[in-house]
Each structure stands twice: as structure tokens, then as C-alpha cells.
Amino acid sequence: MSRIIHGLMLLFIATGAVLCFGPWYDTRATLVLTALFKLLGLVIAFIAAFTTFSRLDSGDPQRRPWLLLAIGLLLYAGGQSVLASYQVCLDVRSPFPSVGDPLFVASYPLIIGALFWFCVIAIHSGLPLGKSLVFWSPALLVLIVFAAGSYPLLASIIKANDPGMETFLNIFYPVTSFIALAPCLVMLRTGLKFRGGRLLLVWLPITLGFTTVLVSDIFFAYLVADKMACIESLVDFLYVSGYALISIGTLSQANLLK
């Protein structure tokens, strides 16, 4: 079963690459397909996260963070469905900001909360995952990178002199993405400790997926601020593959509990 899941999702990512990096990238068909791929990845991830929540016992420590993650993914999928509706139904590029942005904004605290919750559960699991400082070291690294790298990014956003809401979102997305990267990389390091086991197939794709999406968010902020149209197809591909990876991980977790 897990081989089928992984095969299908890798096919999904490969198709995303063909769509985003082919000469047909700017055509309507490609825009529609990439929009639908993103939505499909998120919907699968939501269903799998919710299935995981429902398969866990009420006393299981991971049950509530899985619910939080499922709700976060649902809101995120809601935001993505708004963007997709522009591309599929109205045949226009989705505006920025759009009515999907409140849904995206609402989803981030839930996803960040769930990821931090998973970290806290992991460190209290009693498994040899390293002492506190070592365990949290990826988060500290993100903090240092953020402290060093946020100024040029935020300065270029502010310099762009966009309207208030646009500026707020361009600051909100990369800043929350950096915050989300912290627990994400902690869980990535934790996941790598399970190499050779089924838990690796859960945590490696989930954390790589979120990392990809969060890095795309940061790229997207540059894209909007600096009008870097040349990386648009790369950003689209990163989103498609990120959502596919998250769905692989969440499906693997739901499958593990069957």
C-alpha cells in the first residue's frame, strides 16, 4: 500500500515538474492543471490528517495536534480553492491579495501550533532524540538565519510601496513561514533518526513538504516585491511538490494506524 502511495505521489510531482518547466507553462491548460494539482494535494493531506486523528485513541498524545494540522490544512485548501477558482472558472490569474488570503492567514497559526506540538511530544517520548539543546538546534539555526536574512527581504517588501494589505501579507507570509520552519526542521531531524523504519516515511515527506512550501512562500514574497517573474514556474513547482510530499507523509501516517 505505502509503495503505491509513494509511486502515485512521485508521479504527481514528476507531472508537476513537466507542467511547470515545459514550454507550455504559461498556457491556460497548465495554469488550470497546476491549480487543480495543488488543491488535490492539499485535500488528500487534509483527509489523511483527519483520518489519522480519527484513528487515534482519545488518550493518544498526537491526537489533538493531528486535528489541529487537519484543520490548518482544510483552511489552507480553502484558500487554495479560491485561487484555483480564479484560474479554472474565471480564466484569470488569481489576484493578490484575494479572498483566499484570510483562509491562508488563519491556517498558519494552526499548522505552526501542530508542528510545535509534535516536537514537544517527540522530546517527551523518552526516545533517544538528543538532549534539549541538540533537539531544538534546527529551530535555533532558523532563528539565526531569520535574524540575519530577514532585513533584506522585509526591506525590499517595504520599499516596494504596495498597498497596506499587500504589504501586510508580504510580511506575514515569509515571517510566519520562518517561524513554521523552526518546528518543521526539528521534526525533519527527528524523522531522519527513524531511517529504515516506517516512521521515516511519515516524517520525512511531511517535513520536507512543509519546508518546500515555506521556502516557496519566502520566494513568493520576493516574486511579488521584486517582480521576479522568472521564478514563477519554480515557485509553482515547489508548491505542487510540497503539497504532494505533505500528502505522502499524512497518508503514510494514516496507513500506519490502520
Partner 1 sequence: MSDQLIDKIVEILGPFMGETMARASLRVYVNEIKINKGSFEPQYLDLLVLRLRTGLTAFAGKDKAQSLINDILRLKQRGGV
Q: Is position 54 an interface residue for partner 1 (rule: CB under 8 A)? A: no
Q: Which of 59, 133, 229, 230 binds partner 1 (CB under 8 A)?
A: 59
Shortest distance in whole angstroms from residue 124 CB to partner 1: 7
Q: Which of 194, 215, 232, 234 binds partner 1 (CB under 8 A)?
A: 194
CB of 141 to partner 1, least distance (A): 22
Range 118-177, binding partner 1 (CB under 8 A): 121-122, 124-128
Residue (13 or 122) nearer to partner 1, CB = 122
- Residue 253 to residues 47, 62, 165, 172, 256, Cα–Cα distance (Å): 12, 11, 37, 30, 5
**Taking contact as CB under 8 A, which single stretch among the options 24-32, 49-57, 98-106, 108-116 is the one that binds partner 1?**
49-57
Q: Binding of partner 1 at residue 257 (CB under 8 A)?
A: yes
Binding-site size for partner 1 (CB under 8 A) equals: 25
Q: How far is CA 204 from the centre of its chain?
A: 13
Query: C-alpha distances in angstroms, 174 versus 133, 181, 243?
Result: 25, 10, 18
Q: Which is nearer to partner 1, 6 or 109 (CB)?
A: 6
Q: Which is nearer to partner 1, 40 or 122 (CB)?
A: 122
Q: Minimum CB separation from partner 1 for residue 162, in Å?
A: 43
Could you tell me the smallest distance in angstroms from the CB atom of residue 190 to partner 1? 9
Contact 97, 221 (CB under 8 A): no
Stretch that binds partner 1, among 16-24, 50-58, 106-114, 135-143 (CB under 8 A): 50-58
Q: Residues 34, 62, 81, 255: which binds partner 1 (CB under 8 A)?
A: 62
Please say which residue, 27 or 125, places its beta carbon nearer to partner 1: 125
195 near partner 1 (CB under 8 A): yes
Q: How far apart are CA 196 and CA 34, in angstroms?
A: 33
Nearer to partner 1, 155 or 192 (CB): 192
CB of 72 to partner 1, least distance (A): 20
Report how far residue 33's alpha carbon sits from residue 229's, in angstroms, rounded to the nearest whole number.
19
Task: Please give the residue ranges that form the binding site for partner 1 (CB under 8 A).
Answer: 55-57, 59-63, 121-122, 124-128, 193-200, 256-257
